[in-house]
Amino acid sequence: MNRFTLSKGVHLRYEGDIYKISNVLNQNTFELTRLIDNHTLNLDRLDLLSAYTNGDVEFLDEDEIKLRRPNPQKAIDIDFTSYTELEKKRAVNRLAYIQAIEEAKIQPSLFKDKSKLLEYVTKKIQDKNPPKSLATIYKWRKTYEESGRNIISLIGKTRNRGNRTTRFNESTENQIQRAIEYYLTPERPSIRKAYQRLQYLTWENDSKTNEITSLPSYDAFRKRIHQIDQHLVISKRFSKRVADMKFKPYKKGLVATRPLELTEIDHTPVDLMVVDEDSRLPLGRPTLTTIIDKFSRMPIGFYFSFTPPSTLSIIECLRHAILPKTTLQQLYPSHDITWPAHGIPETIIVDNGKEFLSSDFTEIASSLGISIIRSPVRTPTYKGAVERFFRTFSESLLKDVPGKTFSNIFEKDEYDPKKHAVVSLNKLVEMTHLWIEQFINTVNRSINTTPIRMWELGISKHPVLMPKNMDVLKISLGRTLSRKIQHYGIDFESLKYNSVELSMIRRKHKGSVTIKFNPNNISEIYVLTPDTKQFITVPCTDLPYAYKTLFQHQLIKKVLRKDNKKLDINNLMRTEEQIIQIIESEKILTKKIHRASKQARYKNVSQQTNQVQGIPIKETESLSLDKHTIFKDDGFDPYVSDQGNNPLENDDDDIDSIYADDPDWHADYSRKDQS
């Protein structure tokens, strides 16, 4: 179990000892009893949450209470991404039935005849093996609730049955995927035609390698086609509009009955021109990502950056939302800010932006036990709370701030926001925290009370869910890939990652392993051990270079490849310094806002959500003064600009040449052509 609540009977590790929450004295005080000697102590909710964010508190399940073994690696419990696609599909289908039951409970008018609910869901998700009765669904729901709404509990106990490895080699799997991609085209070829395509691709490959490759039967290939998400199939073969119409949810807005039962997330460009912290030059309009609790109208997290809407924005916003805001007094000592929102959302309502359709977002939501509801097109009631929040934010906080932009040209008149801009991104984040405290203490007409009052009433009856510990949250919010372990470790984005624990895995396991990483810090990755199904942390061997974002690293690689330079650590660090020199020189010349925004995006000018945890921020836009020793052998000094052999010395090699808004970017804002 990876999700817990602060409630009576819960066990946790605190300061090295195991305690049980024996009593909740009032809403904000907990009585803890130490199991070894029945010693009791009282802790305030705020103190307990602060200890949790600092890593001093870890929730324990029943098995860990019986046998608590020390683990220096702090291996993370099994992750949803470690299961097979068939197992995940089974769990997702069962969750669809459970959600239908819950929606029927929230909106009784949907299914007056409960017997028709089973038939409706079976048809909606194209389930080939539906449950025989509603009793089965209620049994799944009970298991799901007892596990803390963990989707892993819906997979069942069939994990160790049968042969779980594919009998086809990597080359054959690639041919199968190419045939499936051929099937998912607007020309809409039949499954038989796609299978013939697979036969041709295999014959073509065999003629080059002089090998004979075994193929799946037509029935097996047809089953693979049928296992693909039907929304994706119809989107590719017809159009997204047709798919949305076929699988659209009910248009009536959903109603929440407790905190975090339903939340809404969205992005919006901020109607404010912000300036650089040092030069005070305008950078442009940042993007704001926000999550709103539908029950209390409480904003539970936000994230500012110059990165377009992406998986990274969602990750950082979720991190800010889930973590308790216990360090705001330390961050802003001159203000007394109270913002009690925290916890894992049960359901997130999203639109159909590509970042929300990405597999990374789906995996992250599944790992945290978060259900996803996609709002239908032209149905604003599904995300009315967050849309209204954005409007209030712009009209209230930004109304009189110098540098405010206008969507209406007549409102703008002759006002130039670039000339009047004075607010930096850090100050905008501080202003937003202050404004949110005012917002949550103001009566909201939709709930007839203040959001903070509604929130406190809700959590007194329904405690919020929290990750087991900080490591579980860190792993769950990581993006997922597969890599092979080599003698030098794991190669990820041309960087090497290795550790003693990783070498031990290589001795026993020869295939690929699942890895996770944080796009905002690639100095380490997390590897899933095949035997224990737990994650270990593996650091990058190319430090201090790797203390940067994936986006920064990929831009540096792009410049090296453009100049046909070798991708080694010396060239990477040398090119990074040259890019920084270009950006610094362009600060003087930049007049166009879009160029300044590109500079800010490379320098990772964004809200640092790890400040919520009290973790110091690592510099990502510049290197330490000691780094020139790396170039000592070739006499290169990165602080002397006129040394020749500069890949960026041409007149046209400005910020536009090293970074362009082209279609070769994923929704997570990493390049498609990178490996």
CATH code of the domain containing 63? 2.30.30
The answer to whether residue 581 is domain-embedded is: yes
Mean pLDDT on 65-76: 48
- Give residue 221's domain range: 170-247
The answer to whether residue 651 is domain-embedded is: no
Can you tell me the distance from the alpha carbon of 446 to that of 444, in angstroms, rounded to the nearest whole number?
Answer: 6
288 and 437 within one domain:
yes
322 and 401 within one domain:
yes
Res. 290: pLDDT tops 90: yes
* Strand, coil or helix: 9: coil
The answer to whether residue 488 is domain-embedded is: yes
Res. 455: pLDDT tops 70: yes
Number of H helices, E strands in the chain: 25, 20
Dig out the tokens for 136 from the structure. Answer: 């089965």
pLDDT at position 501:
93
Which among 247, 270, 303 is the end of a domain? 247
Q: Are 299 and 440 in contact (CB under 8 A)?
A: yes
* Strand, coil or helix: 344: coil
The answer to whether residue 471 is domain-embedded is: no
Output 617 or 308, whichever has higher pLDDT. 308
Q: Are 454 and 443 in contact (CB under 8 A)?
A: no
pLDDT at position 625:
27
pLDDT at position 616:
39
List own/partner pairs for 220-227 with CB under 8 A and 24 or more apart: 221/176, 221/179, 221/191, 221/194, 221/195, 222/191, 222/195, 224/176, 224/180, 225/180, 225/183, 225/191, 225/194, 226/126, 226/128, 227/85, 227/86, 227/89
The CATH number given to whatever domain includes residue 445 is 3.30.420.10
pLDDT at position 560:
81
289 and 430 within one domain:
yes
Is residue 381 very low, low, confident or very high in pLDDT (cuts 50, 70, 90)? low
pLDDT at position 583:
65
Torsion of CA 245, 248, 251, 252, to 10 degrees: 160
Res. 55: pLDDT tops 50: yes
564 and 538 within one domain:
no
Res. 63: pLDDT tops 50: yes
pLDDT at position 670:
52
The answer to whether residue 197 is domain-embedded is: yes
pLDDT at position 324:
95
317 and 457 within one domain:
yes
Output 3 or 360, whichever has higher pLDDT. 360
Mean pLDDT on 42-66: 84
Res. 655: pLDDT tops 80: no
Instruction: Give CA angle at 198 (193, 200), nearest 5°.
Output: 95
Burial of 581 (0-12, 13-18, 19+ CB in 10 A): middle
495 and 414 within one domain:
no
Can you tell me the distance from the alpha carbon of 583 to that of 417, in angstroms, rounded to the nearest whole number?
Answer: 23
137 and 110 within one domain:
yes
96 and 174 within one domain:
no
Output 382 or 143, whichever has higher pLDDT. 143
pLDDT at position 539:
94
Can you tell me the distance from the alpha carbon of 487 to that of 66, in angstroms, rounded to the nearest whole number?
Answer: 38
Instruction: Output phi, psi for 604, to 5 deg.
Output: 60, 45
Res. 540: pLDDT tops 70: yes
Mean pLDDT on 49-68: 79
348 and 366 within one domain:
yes
pLDDT at position 596:
66
Mean pLDDT on 422-451: 92
Q: Are 376 and 244 in contact (CB under 8 A)?
A: yes
Is residue 344 very low, low, confident or very high in pLDDT (cuts 50, 70, 90)? very high
Strand-pair category, 495-497 with 512-518: unpaired
Is residue 371 very low, low, confident or very high in pLDDT (cuts 50, 70, 90)? very high
Torsion of CA 379, 384, 390, 395, to 10 degrees: 110
Looking at 243-247, 249-253, 275-279, 459-463, which range is the least confident one?
249-253
Mean pLDDT on 599-623: 55
pLDDT at position 598:
66
Q: Are 295 and 256 in contact (CB under 8 A)?
A: yes
Mean pLDDT on 500-515: 91
Which of 243-257, 412-426, 549-563 ranks highest by mean pLDDT?
549-563
595 and 519 within one domain:
no
26 and 57 within one domain:
yes
Output 568 or 136, whichever has higher pLDDT. 136
pLDDT at position 478:
93
Which of 108-117, 147-156, 542-551, 581-590 ranks highest by mean pLDDT?
542-551
The answer to whether residue 622 is domain-embedded is: no
Total number of domains in the chain: 6
Is residue 535 very low, low, confident or very high in pLDDT (cuts 50, 70, 90)? very high
The answer to whether residue 608 is domain-embedded is: no
Res. 611: pLDDT tops 80: no
Bridge partners (DSSP) listed for residue 516? 480, 526
In 203-293, DSSP assigns E strands to: 263-269, 274-275, 282-284, 287-293
Mean pLDDT on 659-667: 47
Is residue 664 very low, low, confident or very high in pLDDT (cuts 50, 70, 90)? very low
pLDDT-above-70 percentage for the chain: 77
The answer to whether residue 520 is domain-embedded is: yes
SS (H, E, C) 98-165: HHHHHHHHHCHHHCCCCHHHHHHHHHHHCCCCCCCCHHHHHHHHHHHHHCCCCHHHHCCCCCCCCCCC
Nearest to 191 by CA among 233, 149, 151: 233
Can you tell me the distance from the alpha carbon of 196 to that of 182, in angstroms, rounded to the nearest whole number?
Answer: 11
Dig out the tokens for 91 from the structure. Answer: 């769990």
Which among 33, 57, 74 is the end of a domain? 74
194 and 154 within one domain:
no
pLDDT at position 667:
46
Average pLDDT, the chain: 79
Which of 39-53, 98-112, 259-273, 657-671 ranks highest by mean pLDDT?
259-273
Output 539 or 421, whichever has higher pLDDT. 539
Which among 117, 139, 159 is the end of a domain? 159
